[in-house]
Chains A and B, each alone.
Chain A
Amino acid sequence: MENARDSRVRVMVWAGVVAALTLGFAIVPFLTDNLSFMFYMMLWIIMASAFNFVAGLAGYMPFGYVAFYGVGAYATGILYKTLEFPIPLALIGAGLTGATVGLLLAPTLRLRGVYFGIVSLALAMAAKLTISLMPADLTGGSLGLILSSANDPLAAYYAMFVVLLLLLATATWLSMSRTGTALRAIRDDQEAAAVVGVNVVSTRMKAWISAAVFPALVGGVEAWYTNAIDLESSFNLLITAKSIVYAMAGGLGYLVGPILGSGLLYGVDQLIWRQFPTLNLLLLGVIIVLLMLMLPRGIVGAFAQRFSKLRKYIP
């Protein structure tokens, strides 16, 4: 059947992308002094791609996405510093904490549209306030936590690399399996999906938990990499903003969209405007507006619209 070949091509394109990313990020530390640039490139690819799991595949816009990141950072810090877990266990703990918070917040999934987005934002603020109310000898209070004894940027780099591999595997599973088809159907019309037999609640839960675990892991690894955790940077709304912008710029709903978007925009972000933080912020805002007005489906989405014949090959 002709269709089977089409989907084989699509799988091969995706396999190529995965192989290129794996190889590229695996050998980079041997080629460059600028480890930090590539570390943050991975970070944003993961953040934007995991955002795509809920936004692109399931149609939810969690404006409080940063909550998972912040919770992961603090879980790592507390487990390592206060409870003296080794770093790998602390990171696993961060992932589990992310999943737990995701489960706790799952009831909000029955809210729709902007109600969900706004409540998610309020929950992120509530998570930040909750941590600030926890005893200071656990969280470091307003000073935050310093993990200097764990300092090992190269190891942290490869920890992020492992998270990237996990992300690519999850992305493959979520999008190319039956779950992926069910998710897209829910995104387009939840009620109609239920009427043709899709179990809406359990399907979107898979996407939701996946989207909660990755930012938590990323928050933990980033804390390890920089050795510092504090409330303002761990729960900075700009983390949500950048995840959204990178994912949307590439194209929500496609696996390659957030990867392309993060690669391009983060690169531009770093290379040109690093010196002017405020101007950078202004540009971020302007880019969001322009993207939404000019390219609402992102680069990949616009390409797919323009060259509809090739669409079936885009993973």
Chain B
Amino acid sequence: MNELLLQGLVNGIILGTIYALIGLSLNVIFGVLRVVNFAHGEFIILGAYGAYFAQKLLGLSPFLAMPLIFLAFAAMGYGLYFVLIKRLAKSDDPEHASLLVMFGVAIALGALMLIFFEADSRSLSYTLDPPFFMFGSVIVPTAKLVALGIIVVITAVLAFFLYRTLPGKALRAIIMNRDAVQIVGVNLERMSALTFGLGLGLAGITGVLVALIFPAFSPFIGQDYTLIGFIVIVLGGLGHPVGAVVGGIIFGLTEQTALVYTSGTTATLLGFLLLIGVILVRPTGLFGREALK
């Protein structure tokens, strides 16, 4: 096999898992709350700044900062649920209303970061030793390998939580049928707030990983991550945890292998065309169900 293509495939899988993590957290939020988190990318970038300042001000390595950022973001999500999300349930069209509210949050959060962190790109001054591994002719930076490991662990923990623990099962039950769950007596409100916390916590972790493996970040690029996350979840099917993982890896592979042959712009365009193609054939995504209107 062509060596460049092999390198592209490896990059595709690694980036694909990051995309999958973004999609996974978006889908957990959407599945339980029917909220499309338009501000997800901004929260990711906020997580990246978290890692940056944890290192700069507290001298913490990104790996130590990660659990702290998760907890801080989860707490923020828990609180934001009561401020923003709870009241939307009563609106004419909760899904669109949530999309718009989170759109507003995205703009406001982006502007806040611009005010407090300024427009310059930042990067984490953190290097691992050795900086990269060679597998035959394929080069894999250590940071990416570590990120891959972390994502696999997080996904496994999340899968265990969703499919093997009681609160996780309750969560999936909510995804499948909100009304029935209410009758059974699950505390929907508390579960919803925890879910939003979980979603934002994961966004914070994603941010740390983004800071770790990409050369730089700035307040402007949140949108890009939101868009990637959206493509991934629509590709896989809204609200479907497995769909997000598959969608993320497909999108990562498409983008990175295309990058071997063409420019970055064309590769991104191909990613969009993939989404549009899939959605026109299967309007609810690869794993979506008809019931999701």
Contact = CB atoms under 8 A, between A and B. Distances in A.
A126 B272 contact: yes
A278 B115 contact: yes
Nearest to A117: B99
B266 A281 contact: no
A133 interface: yes
Nearest to B38: A63
Nearest to A55: B96
Interface stretch (B4-12, B172-180, B203-211, B223-231): B223-231
Contacts of B92: 296-297
B162 interface: no
| Chain A interface main SS type | helix
A272 interface: no
B226 to A, nearest CB: 9
A248 B107 CA distance: 16
A286 B227 contact: no
Contact of A133 (B111, B115, B266): B266
Q: How large is the interface on A (under 10, 10 to 19, 20 to 34, 35 or more residues)?
A: 35 or more
A115 interface: yes
Interface stretch (B54-62, B122-130, B152-160, B278-286): B278-286
A57 to B, nearest CB: 14
Given A113-B293, A122-B230, A292 B101 contact: yes
Interface string B98-111: 01110111111111
B276 A122 contact: yes
B104 A288 contact: yes
A9 interface: no
A281 B108 CA distance: 7
Q: How large is the interface on B (under 10, 10 to 19, 20 to 34, 35 or more residues)?
A: 35 or more
Given A132-B265, A133-B265, A285 B107 contact: yes
B96 A61 contact: yes
B102 to A, nearest CB: 9
A289 interface: yes
Nearest to B102: A289
Nearest to B108: A285
27 contacts: A63-B103, A114-B95, A115-B279, A118-B230, A121-B227, A122-B272, A122-B276, A123-B272, A123-B276, A126-B276, A129-B265, A238-B107, A244-B103, A279-B115, A281-B114, A282-B108, A282-B111, A284-B107, A284-B111, A285-B104, A285-B107, A285-B110, A288-B100, A291-B104, A293-B87, A293-B88, A296-B91
